[in-house]
Structure 1
Amino acid sequence: METWDAIVIGGGAAGLSAAQMLGRSRRRTLVIDAGSPRNRFAAHMHGVLGQDGTAPLDLVARGRAELEAYGVAWREASVLRVDAHAAGVAVTFDDGSVENARALVVATGLTDELPDVPGLAERWGTSVLHCPYCHGWEVRGRRLGVLMVSPHQVHQAQLVRQWSDDVVVFAAIPLDPAFEHRLRARGVEIVTDAVTALVGDGTALTGVALESGAVHPVDALFTMGAARPHDAFLAHLDLDRTETPVGSFLSVDATGRTSSPRIWAAGNVVNPMANVPLSMGAGALVGGAVNGALVEEDFDNAPAVYWEGRYADRLWSGTPNRTLVDVVEGLEPGRALDLGCGEGADTIWLAERGWDATGIDISASAIARARAATTRARFEVADLGSHRPAGDYDLVTASFFQSPVALDRARILRDAVARIAPGGRLLLISHAAPPPWSTHAHAHGGTFLSPGDELAALALDPSEWTTELAEVRHRPVTAPDGTPSTLDDTVVMVRRTPRP
């Protein structure tokens, strides 16, 4: 199953900026977009340095074209739900398909639930406006109105006065006397008659119809709606939220990270006041933060770091693998090499049975414990991804040589095969299936190998090699709850043809 480094849900200013940072960081990134940005109702955007007057959808188109140069993929779709787990997220679409990623950026914006006034919704973004910084210059000096439907519009009402001397506030709610005094002191007219409709020609606004029957002339009207962030697909995750005067929003830290370690958010979905430049900046910040988190994880998951962490405390009992014991016990001792020996139980058992045994592992802590346990065997700290064992061996073993982090297993085993002397053997023991008590099919690195899989990966010359064992064996164990159980092991042993 393909796993992206990051999935970005939302293809507006915030999402595109995050995706651009991720693409430029060589992250495999997928952008999901339903094609409904918040500012699609506006013909132009302003206050965007270098892009002043550009149509919002043109900015999106340019952004998408730029992302192609960085290999960012795009999918037009709607997201049904997101499920988070320790290693990443699963994004389920409304058609039932699923995409997986190590990290998620939510940049889905919000919907403005507008006041229920006839003629208002169809003029939203043209002559009915919400942000003086975005649209004030274009209506400067004209007859401006403010439809106050919430006490939280105090700042908006005062701001509009900066762009015109002719401002009227239509008070759909009672005004605080002190605030009313401030407005009148600056020459702002206050109308308490109820607003019944907006009138005008097409999207142009000429006046506000009042309950009294009068029409108050205005050229543009500022107001605000209830902000409804598009985050319902996350509701079941019960992420931390922040309650604000205009709505409930996902809580994020300084890098845009939510209370889920795999999910970030940027733009209007967390900040309803963010205009295009602020959304772009937040998206860029989040894109960099996600890459930084993945960089740390990549280093954490480097084989040497990962396995040293696993062996920080003693991991296994020191008992040799039962299947190895059963298979090797009847063989004539010679030189043996144990790949990924861990704390050395198998290597020590081989040495005690007369083998000239060497164990190799990437963890210095594991090898230190192995060396402390015996003087009969040799142990070496080495990364088999770059280290090639020297010498010839009569037996090379690799028991559960599987890893949840990067491991070029096939190449390592082929290198080991080249070190086997004529008449020598390679013994592989691997997980054939997850433990019966496990609900995670990705346990043990997500690889369950059949005998055929092992032989196919080795691709040995049949004229030079003979298969002596290729089977699945059942090994009795004790389950975590103390009950008897079994594990399935794939066992493959091949022998190089002896010299005549």
Structure 2
Amino acid sequence: MQNSWDVIVAGGGPAGLSAALMLGRARRRALVIDAGSVRNRFADHMHGVLGHDGASPRDLAARGRAEAEAYGVEFAAGTIERVEHDADGLVVRTLDGLELSTRALVVATGLTDDLPDIPGLVERWGQTVLHCPYCHGWEVREKRLGVLTTSPLGLHQAELIRQWSDDVTVFTAGLGELSPETQARLRARGVRLEPEPVAEVVGDGAEISAVRLSDGREVAVDAIFTMGAPRPHDAFLAPLDLTRSETPFGRFIEVDAMGRTSDERIWAVGNVVNPGANVPKSIGDGSFVGAAANAALVTAEFDAAAKAGEPWPEVSTAELWEERYSGADRVWSHSVNAVLADIAGHLAPGRALDIGSGEGADVIWLAERGWDATGIDVSTTAVRRAAEAAAAVDLGTGSADFAVGDVDAASGEVFDLVTSSFLHSPAGEPREDILRRAADRVAAGGHLLITSHASAPPWAGDAHAGHHRFLAPDDELELLALDPDVWEVVLAETRERATTSPDGEPSTIDDGVLLLRRRDSRD
């Protein structure tokens, strides 16, 4: 994982994921730190979410995460312990020891609903103990409904609940004695009032059959609506002394119309600042806040460039990959690419060149099997790590050498095998131009092996559409436009590879495999 980010998003619920999606699409280096405790995790279904009515909150989160990952957003499990300022921005520290720097922070950590300490209540939260009639009212319409009041807001909730059933009992002990006017107002719509304190909620499993009162009486109900005391997950911001404001729900961090707090580097969105925000509002506000954080960074970058009086430098492919490798202790798995192992395992060892060799796993594997293998990568850090890894193993009769540079670093040399696995050129020349120059390094009778992503991950849905082109092997061959009189197509196929989805479930992904042989005088 990198140590430095443009934006860290605290929280992986609807608000945080929506902000992260916008930041990823804005090409920001963004990290989501998620404790896995979203407010609606107790519910099996969401309602009132246009296009997703009745869907699982977990399914929405998995899809949202995959969509954000498709734009380069990274994720880490953890809980933020503390946030502080430093010279360059903010330092975020987690309970498990991570220390990360960021230019901006989006807080979307949500809240906990602290429920009354009544037996049978907490364990049914999200099932038959409910809080929002718009989220759950339809599913319990025309049933026997109870409203357990905990604050004056409970009276508003009681009036709302009457819309879904004409059998409503309001347990008013949490409010004290009601005025005659309030009692008359509720009874005018057939609402029953019960002033005796609630002692227990009884039923079978998640189902409720009755509310037992402190005097032993029972009131039959099928579901209970109540409002827990909202406790925002914002204690980690205490050292910053952010401005707070009084709301009907308590003291919450104050934000402006853009979601910005009193600290110019911190935005907050979702239930951590608004307990009444449902899923659609959290998604919409998160999208807006993600865009607002990006816009603030854009302004800062232009301000800095104008102050310096120098043109903004263009970022090269080498700089992008060096940033990727140097920002993490380890990037790849250090395992050989399965396609290379299968195909090279059937070739006689000779001289091999790996373009974009990264941390060297493929080159080392070839060397261990008798190849004189050379790896080339634009990242100095990757090449250093690859050389260190090669020095730590017994290569037998083979050799593993590494050099910093692009394909031209091997200019004038030819190889029996030139391979490139999942080559990306995010800046600079087109990828196909690099691969054509790689083909020039293949000796007569030698092979060119190109392995690429042939499709988006199945968990990403349509998230990749419009920002990444996935090529089938035949499309790759057509794009390379190599002379068929010089090159023989040995393999052009798609292979399914086992992998793991972001939620830890087994999955598969398609790899494109293109193996070409340069004809020699014997052909």
**What band does the TM-score fall into relative to the shorter chain?**
0.5 to 0.7
Superposed displacement of residue 58, structure 1: 1.3
The residue number in structure 2 matching 1:198 is: 201
**Aligned AA (1:289):** A
- Structure 1 residue runs of 4+, over 4 Å off? 383-386
**Counterpart in 2 of 1:49?**
50
What is the rounded CA distance, in whole Å, between the counterparts of 2:104 and 2:21 in structure 1?
15
Paired residues of 2:110 and 2:233 also in contact (CA < 8 A): yes
The amino acid that maps onto 2:50 is L
Q: CA deviation at 1:116?
A: 1.1
What are the equivalent positions in structure 2 for 1:375-390 lying under 5 Å apart? none
CA distance in structure 2 between the partners assigned to 1:291 and 1:384 by the alignment: 18
Residue identity opposite 1:157 in structure 2 = A
Measured after TM superposition, the shift of residue 211 of structure 1 is 1.8
Matched with 1:134 is 135
Deviation at 1:236, TM superposition (A): 1.2
Seen in structure 2, the aligned counterparts of structure 1 residues 47 and 384 have a Cα distance that, compared at 3 Å, is closer
Secondary structure of the corresponding residue to residue 227 of structure 1 = strand
Relative distance call for 1:285 and 1:197 in structure 2 (3 A) is same
- Distance in 1, matches of 2:312 and 2:36, equals 49
Residue equivalent to 1:233? 236
Taking the TM superposition and a 5 Å limit, the aligned residue runs for 1:395-410 are none
Alignment of 1:69-84 (within 5 A): 69-84=70-85
- Partners of 2:301 and 2:209 in 1: how far apart? 60
Aligned to 1:273: 276
SS at structure 1 position matched to 2:112: strand
Deviation at 1:109?
A: 0.2
Shift of 1:75: 0.2
Q: SS state of the match for residue 231, structure 2?
A: strand
| Cα distance in structure 2, aligned partners of 1:46 and 1:385 | 48
Output the amino acid matched with 1:19: A
In 1: Cα distance, 2:3 partner to 2:78 partner = 18
Shift of 1:87: 3.4
Shift, 1:79, TM fit = 0.8
> Letter of the aligned partner of 1:192 in structure 2?
P
Secondary structure of the structure 2 residue equivalent to 1:296? helix
> Between the two proteins, what is the percent identity of the paired residues?
62
Aligned mates of 1:55, 1:21 — CA distance in 2? 23
1:385 positional shift:
6.2
Kindly indicate whether the alpha-carbon contact (under 8 Å) linking 2:198 and 2:214 is maintained by their aligned counterparts in 1: yes
Question: Partner of 2:124 in structure 1?
Answer: 123
SS of the residue 2:32 aligns to: strand
Match of 1:258 in 2: 261
CA distance 1:385–1:183, shift in 2 (3 Å): closer
Q: How far 1:384 moved relative to its partner?
A: 10
What SS is found at the alignment partner of 2:162? helix
SS state of the match for residue 264, structure 2?
coil
1:245-274 deviation per Cα after TM superposition (whole angstroms, max 9, x unaligned): 322110000010000000000000000000
Q: Aligned-residue CA RMSD in angstroms?
A: 1.5
Whole-Å Cα distance in 2 between the matches of residues 84 and 13 of structure 1? 27
**Which string of whole-angstrom CA distances, capped at 9 and with x for unpartnered residues, describes residues 206-253 of structure 1?**
110012212111111001111110000001110000122322110000
User: Which residue does the alignment assign to 1:29?
Assistant: 30
Q: Displacement of 1:149 after TM fit?
A: 1.9
Report the counterpart of residue 298 of structure 2 in structure 1.
295
Shifted more, 293-302 versus 98-107: the winner is 293-302
5+ long unaligned stretches in structure 2: 315-523
CA distance in 2, matches of 1:384, 1:133: 50
- Verify the 8 A CA contact 1:84 1:262 in the aligned structure 2: no
Deviation sequence 1:397-440 (CA, Å, 0-9, x none): xxxxxxxxxxxxxxxxxxxxxxxxxxxxxxxxxxxxxxxxxxxx
Cα–Cα, structure 1 residues 29 and 115, in superposed 2: closer, same or farther, change >3 Å? Answer: same
Shift of 1:5: 0.9
Q: Distance in 1 between matches of 2:312 and 2:304?
A: 16
Residue aligning to 1:154: 155
Query: 2:245: which partner in 1?
Result: 242
The structure-2 alpha-carbon separation of the partners of 1:385 and 1:53, relative to structure 1 and needing over 3 Å to count, comes to: closer
Any idea what the Cα deviations from partners look like across 1:446-487, whole Å, max 9, x if unmatched? xxxxxxxxxxxxxxxxxxxxxxxxxxxxxxxxxxxxxxxxxx
Contact 1:169 1:190 in 2 (8 A): yes
Shift of 1:155: 1.0
Which residue does 1:476 correspond to in 2?
A: none
Q: Judging changes above 3 Å, is the alpha-carbon distance between structure 1 residues 122 and 2 closer, same or farther for their aligned structure 2 residues?
A: closer
The answer on whether the counterparts of 2:3 and 2:99 sit within 8 Å (CA) in structure 1 is: no
Mapping 1:36-115, distance limit 5 Å = 36-85=37-86, 87-115=88-116
Alignment of 1:342-491 (within 5 A): none
How far apart are residue 85 of structure 1 and its match? 4.1
Q: Distance in 1 between matches of 2:21 and 2:116?
A: 36
CA distance in 1, matches of 2:270, 2:150: 24
Q: Take 1:149 and 1:78, find their aligned partners in 2: how far apart are those partners? A: 30
* Distance in 1 between residues matched to 2:292 and 2:88, nearest whole Å: 17
Alpha carbons of structure 1 residues 231 and 384: separation in structure 2 relative to 1, 3 Å: closer
Within 2, Cα distance between the matches of 1:84 and 1:277? Answer: 33
Whole-angstrom distance in 2 between the partners of 1:227 and 1:4: 31
Q: What is the TM-score when the length of structure 2 is the normalising length?
A: 0.58
2:16, 2:106 within 8 Å by CA — same for their partners in 1?
A: yes
Pick one of 175, 195, 216 that aligns with 1:213: 216
Distance 2:220 2:242 in 1: 46
Rounded to whole Å, the distance in 2 between the matches of 1:251 and 1:146 is: 30
Alignment-mate amino acid for residue 97 of structure 1: L
- For residues 167 and 149 of structure 1, the distance between their equivalents in structure 2, rounded to whole angstroms, comes to 17
Distance 2:277 2:228 in 1: 15
Alignment partners' CA distance in 2, 1:385 and 1:217? 71
Which amino acid is 1:145 matched to? G
Bigger radius of gyration among the two? 1
Query: SS where residue 222 of structure 1 aligns?
Result: strand
Question: Structure 2 CA distance, aligned partners of 1:88 and 1:11?
Answer: 22
SS at match of 1:198: strand
* 1:389 equivalent in structure 2: none
Which of 159, 183, 188 lines up with 1:185 in the alignment?
A: 188
What is the distance in 2 between the residues matched to 1:194 and 1:132?
23
Q: Give the one of 221, 226, 235 matched to 1:223.
A: 226
Question: Post-superposition shift, 1:176?
Answer: 2.7
CA drift of 1:137 comes to: 0.6
SS at match of 1:301: helix
Q: Give 5+ residue unaligned stretches, structure 1.
A: 309-361, 363-382, 387-500
1:90 partner letter: V
Q: Aligned letter for 2:128? A: S
- CA deviation string 1:288-345 (max 9, x = no partner): 100111111111122xx1225xxxxxxxxxxxxxxxxxxxxxxxxxxxxxxxxxxxxx
Q: Matched residues in 2 for 1:2 and 1:116: separation?
A: 42
Residue 89 of structure 1, CA deviation: 1.1
| SS of corresponding position for 2:280 | helix
